[in-house]
Each structure stands twice: as C-alpha cells, then as structure tokens.
Amino acid sequence: MTVATVESFTDNIETLMPILPLHHAELAIDPQEIPLEPKWDIYKARDAAGQILFITLRKRGELIGYFIGFILESLHNDLRLCVQDIFYVREEERRQGAGDILFSALKTEAKRRGVGRVMVACKTHLPAGPFFEAHGFSHIEQSYWMKL
C-alpha cells in the first residue's frame, strides 16, 4: 500500500539521502556543472520556521517519492502560496497512482495551512503538464534560463 504523509523535513534528511541522487540524475539540466549540494542549514532553518511543506510517499515503509514546497506570503497580495521546490516519484512507481496519492495529500495539507495557490513546475525533458492539469492545475507561465 502506498501512503502519503506530511512529515518533518529535518527529521527525514537521512532518509532522503539515497533517493536525491536518483532524482538529480534524472532531472538535472547540467549535472556536471551544477552538482547536487543541498544547503541543509537553510532547509533546516526554513523547516524550523514552518515554511516547508514536506510530504513523503512510502510503499511498505520505503520512501518512493516526496514533495517539498515552500510556504510563502505573497508580496503582491494577501495570498499564501506553496511554491514547489522539488517533487519526485521513483520511475517504477509512476503511472500506478503514486503521484495521485502524493498530489491529493498536497492539496489537502495546503488547504489546511491556508494556502490560496500552489505553484508547481516540471522540466521540459520530463513534462508533467497533463498530470498537473488532471489534478486541477492551470498552465499559466513558462520559465527560461541562460548560462552566464
């Protein structure tokens, strides 16, 4: 059985360690130039301030996915936002309902925390637009980056 649970980010850093490199290898744009080097001290500080929404996805107790988002007050209006940092579901668990479980928990917890909008994103080489739209998200923006 696959279960999504809101958990403490700080308490799960060690649990995340084995899965983060898999996530990075699949999604990173320039992994040789931009290695995986999480700023754990900043994550811990934001977690302590109640600014991280961390949802684990577990199957028989094993971590198979997660959503990490930042809870922020909009500087433009009275909206409380949840802005995705990263989310991941192990490849072998995709298209089997695991992502549905994760995003259902995201919606429930975001509402509980008074969030007015959740913002998510995906890489162009691994598009998730149809999945997002099936979960009620609207395509509102596109992002670009350049190397300096």
117-119 sheet: strands from edge to edge: 2-6, 52-59, 62-73, 80-89, 117-119
Q: What's the confidence (pLDDT) of residue 31?
A: 83
**What pLDDT is attached to residue 25?**
87
* pLDDT of the residue at 32: 84
Note the pLDDT tens digit of each residue in 66-81: 999 999 999 999 999 9
pLDDT tens, residue by residue, 43-67: 999 999 999 999 999 999 999 999 9
Q: What is the pLDDT of residue 30?
A: 85
Per-residue pLDDT of the chain (148 residues; tens, 9 = 90+): 999 999 999 999 999 999 999 899 888 888 888 889 999 999 999 999 999 999 999 999 999 999 999 999 999 999 999 999 999 999 888 988 999 999 999 999 999 999 999 999 999 988 999 999 999 999 999 999 898 9
Phi-psi region of 140 (alpha: psi -120 to 50; beta: other; left: phi over 0): alpha
